[in-house]
Amino acid sequence: MKRLTILAVAVTTLAITPIGSAHANTTTIQVKGGDFYFKLSTKTIAKPGKVTFVFKNVGHVIHDFRIAGKTTRLIPPGTTTRLLVTFKKKGHYLYSCTVLGHAAAGMRGVFTVR
């Protein structure tokens, strides 16, 4: 009986402990940047909060990714970087590549927080 009680407590503890709780409130969005476009896995999130943008340069020249006042470093083709942004309120947020002429050529868009 004692083993059964210990097992029940262990199962209950596992059931109520969030796995990866440090990242439980972070949304991850994949961003591919090419010549000259961005493709996001989603352009909308349901509520304000933390978002990790995983930006991969699939183009042939350097690019970066800028949103909500934060910018990744410039990365060469074939590489990936991350950008953590905390959206504190609902709204529309412009994103773009900051390399001269890239936004005008199509590397821009709008991300929505509902």
pLDDT tens-digit series, residues 86-100: 999 999 999 999 999
Is 100 in a helix, a strand, or coil?
A: coil
- Please check whether residue 29 is in contact with residue 52, taking contact to mean a CB–CB distance below 8 angstroms: yes
User: Which helix or strand (DSSP H or E) is residue 108 part of?
Assistant: strand 108-113
Q: Chain centroid to CA 47: how far?
A: 14
- Write the pLDDT tens digit of every residue in 12-52: 333 333 334 445 689 999 999 999 999 999 999 999 999 99
pLDDT at site 8: 43
Side chain identity, residue 111: F
Is 46 in a helix, a strand, or coil?
A: coil
Q: What is the pTM of this model?
A: 0.79
d(CA 81, CA 73): 8
Q: What are the residues whose beta carbons fall under 8 Å from the beta carbon of 9, sequence distance 6 or more?
A: none
